[in-house]
């Protein structure tokens, strides 16, 4: 890996400069891009992301090469290092001392976009509750709610968790569907195999939010697993359960 890209959020400009300097000194070719811009050259061997999960999600939509994240945000499930660990990273990079953490994308019908975390259909704050119909190969379900979320295992520690959903280990071949503020007692999540094609129909046009970005108003979408995958480079001692213990306190030995 000789040709590297850096994708950074504006607040981390200083850190990005330092890392670039370090990498150039080591003889790497470095492309450079602020997260508000489009990446010009995505034919690099590895894209380094400086920022939080939001910046990482954005980068994951723009490139097809492996990614490695440096935590600069609040949670950082997608990050592998903190911005204080450039030296450790450089050593791992020289020795190619990584494990690849593969994650699956979703695609949303008719939209030229991918989704790493979650697809959310949700009403406006001043809109009335909506009727939602979800159908897949094995049947259909109805919810009267503010909206509906379909999350990947990657997204299961994000907004899906805030909505009451379970955590899914990253390599679980499943999605999780969770209604947003449903009427009556239907607030439980349902987990479905990731080879299901999921049709969602809403009786009114509502916001379609994919990985945090609003794509406008829709009343009908189809969501399915995409062929696009992403490889996140992790230090060899990476452990997902360690990360949920540290970041969420879930499953942590407290006393």
Instruction: Using the minimum distance from each CB to a second copy, give the nearer residue, 120 or 134.
Output: 134
Nearer to a second copy, 190 or 213 (CB): 190
Q: What 3-state DSSP class applies to 230?
A: strand
Q: How far apart are CA 219 and CA 206, in angstroms?
A: 6
Q: Strand, helix or coil at 9?
A: coil
3-state secondary structure at position 146: coil
CB of 163 to a second copy, least distance (A): 11
Instruction: Note whether 227 binds a second copy by CB under 8 A.
Output: no
Greatest CA separation for the chain? 61
Q: Which two tokens stand for residue 14?
A: 């200083």
Q: Is 131 a catalytic residue?
A: no
Binding-site size for a second copy (CB under 8 A) equals 46
140 is in an annotated binding site: no
Exposure string for 229-244, b = 16+ CB within 10 A, e = fewer: ebbbbbbeeeebeebb
User: What CA dihedral angle connects 202, 203, 205 and 206, to 10 degrees?
Assistant: -50
Q: What is the spatial distance between Cα 173 and Cα 224, in angstroms, rounded to a whole number?
A: 12
Segment near a second copy (CB under 8 A), from 81-89, 115-123, 139-147, 222-230? 139-147
Q: Does 220 bind a second copy (CB under 8 A)?
A: no
The token duo for 22 is 């370090």
Q: How far is the CB of 196 from a second copy (least distance, A)?
A: 8
Nearest of 131, 110, 141 to residue 223 by alpha carbon:
110
Please list every residue from 159 through 218 that binds a second copy, using CB under 8 A: 161, 165-169, 171-174, 176, 183-186, 188-193, 196
Cβ proximity to a second copy: between 52 and 170 the closer is: 170
Annotated binding-site positions for NAD(+): 53-54, 58, 117-118, 128, 144, 146, 157-162, 181
Active site residues: 53
Report the interface residues with a second copy, using CB under 8 A.
131, 134, 138-144, 153, 156, 161, 165-169, 171-174, 176, 183-186, 188-193, 196, 239-242, 244-245, 249-255
């Amino acid at each position: 890996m000789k040709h590297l890209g850096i994708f950074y959020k504006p607040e981390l400009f200083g850190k990005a400069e330092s890392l670039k300097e370090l990498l150039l000194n080591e003889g790497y070719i470095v492309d450079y891009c602020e997260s508000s811009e489009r990446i010009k050259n995505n034919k690099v061997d590895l894209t380094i992301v400086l920022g939080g999960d939001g910046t990482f999600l954005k980068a994951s939509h723009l490139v097809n090469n492996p990614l490695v994240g440096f935590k600069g945000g609040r949670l950082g499930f997608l990050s592998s290092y903190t911005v204080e660990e450039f030296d450790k990273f450089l050593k791992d990079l020289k020795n190619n001392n990584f494990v690849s953490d593969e994650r699956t994308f979703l695609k949303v019908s008719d939209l030229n976009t991918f989704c790493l975390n979650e697809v959310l259909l949700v009403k406006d704050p001043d809109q009335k509750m909506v009727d939602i119909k979800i159908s897949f190969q094995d049947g259909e379900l109805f919810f009267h709610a503010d909206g509906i979320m379909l999350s990947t295992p990657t997204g299961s520690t994000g907004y899906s968790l805030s909505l009451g959903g379970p955590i899914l280990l990253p390599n679980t071949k499943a999605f999780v569907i969770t209604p947003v503020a449903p009427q009556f007692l239907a607030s439980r999540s349902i987990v479905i195999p990731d080879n299901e094609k999921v049709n969602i129909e809403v009786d009114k046009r509502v916001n379609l939010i994919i990985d945090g970005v609003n794509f406008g108003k829709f009343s009908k979408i189809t969501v399915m697993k995409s062929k696009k995958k992403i490889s996140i480079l992790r230090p060899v001692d990476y452990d997902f359960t360690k990360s949920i213990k540290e970041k969420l306190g879930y499953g942590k030995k407290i006393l």
